[in-house]
Amino acid sequence: MVAVDQLEDIAKQVRRDTLVMLNRAGSGHTGGSLSSVEILTALFFSKMRHKPLDPLWDQRDRFVLSKGHAAPAFYAVLARCGYFPLEDLVSLRKLGSHLQGHPDCKFTPGVEVSTGSLGQGLSMANGISLALKLDGKPSRVYVLLGDGEVQEGQIWEAAMSAAHYKLDNLCAILDHNHLQIDGTVEEVMNIEPLSDKWRAFGWKVFNINGHDYAQILTAFDKAERTKGQPSIIIAETIKGKGVSFFENKVEYHGVAPTDEELERALRELEFDSQRG
């Protein structure tokens, strides 16, 4: 178990990595990457069983980034874990790089499935969970969803099937930052009451602050102890978390920081330069 102060330090580095990657690429998704940093950091550094030097270890827990556009934060976490060199991060979205704009399991160590077509990740996580159960393996499956993503009908079909098959080895996490590319989730297509809907579909629901490690880790533990039904952690988050002028700004959904914005952001994060 990694101490909370260590997780906070790692998350700070992940935010720096993410911003530098996006700036170097000149494109990508800033807001939704930053909102998911604590969730990803807690999973990979404190909760999941995995071996960076043996990515296909048979007993590993599985992770699916259903909101595939948050790939920069995911890549930063994988690199910090040791799946590939940190130096690779600045190749984000470059021709020939194994770090493309959305995760590709054929080329990137630590990526279980290729994602980016929103609404499909939960279905894939269901399949993995069911296969693990049929094989009698104790591994767990975690899937990170976006809140705009749950406007997709396929999410709710997958929610029904996960409950039907009693996939208690499955834990979904909803990055509920309330913004999507066209505006607020409430205005584009209201998804509330979220907790009641997931409970009605047969899921165990946990509501937390998605930037509070104590709440995140406690929810993961409770989900693991839940039997007979899948679990979902609805994590209230802030889009663009960690950089004041990105926070809760819909215009930074899919825009990379400029050179000036990067320098300002790094100063806020208490880094002297892009090198940390």
Residue-wise pLDDT for 4-62, tens only, equals 999 999 999 999 999 999 999 999 999 999 999 999 999 999 999 999 999 999 999 99
Q: Which amino acid is at 109?
A: P
Q: What is the pTM of this model?
A: 0.97
Model confidence pLDDT, tens digit, residues 178-199: 999 999 999 999 999 999 999 9
Residue 274 has a pLDDT of: 58
One-letter identity of residue 98: H
* pLDDT at residue 275 is higher than 70: no
Q: In which band, very low, low, confident or very high, does the pLDDT at 223 lie, cut at 50, 70 and 90?
A: very high
pLDDT of residue 125: 98
Q: How far apart are CA 239 and CA 30, in angstroms?
A: 9
The CA distance from 21 to 17, in Å, is: 6
What percentage of the chain reaches a pLDDT higher than 90?
97
**Predicted local confidence at residue 273, as pLDDT:** 58
The confidence score (pLDDT) of residue 272 equals 66
* DSSP 8-state secondary structure symbol assigned to residue 63: E
Q: Which of 108, 14, 101, 11 is nearest to 56 (CA)?
A: 108
CATH 3.30.465.10 applies to domain 4-268? no
Burial class from Cβ neighbours inside 10 Å (0-12, 13-18, 19+) for residue 118 reads buried
Q: Considering the chain, what is the average pLDDT of its residues?
A: 97
101 DSSP 8-state letter: S
For residue 121, give the nearest of 135, 101, 141, 140 by alpha carbon.
141
Q: So where are the chain's domains? A: 4-268
**Residue 128: pLDDT above 80?**
yes
Question: Residue 112 has which token pair?
Answer: 């279980």
**Cβ–Cβ under 8 Å, residues 147 and 195:** no
How confident is the model at residue 1, as a pLDDT? 73
Digit-coded pLDDT (tens) for 153-181: 999 999 999 999 999 999 999 999 999 99
79-85 mean pLDDT: 98
The pLDDT-based confidence of 2 (bands split at 50, 70, 90) is confident
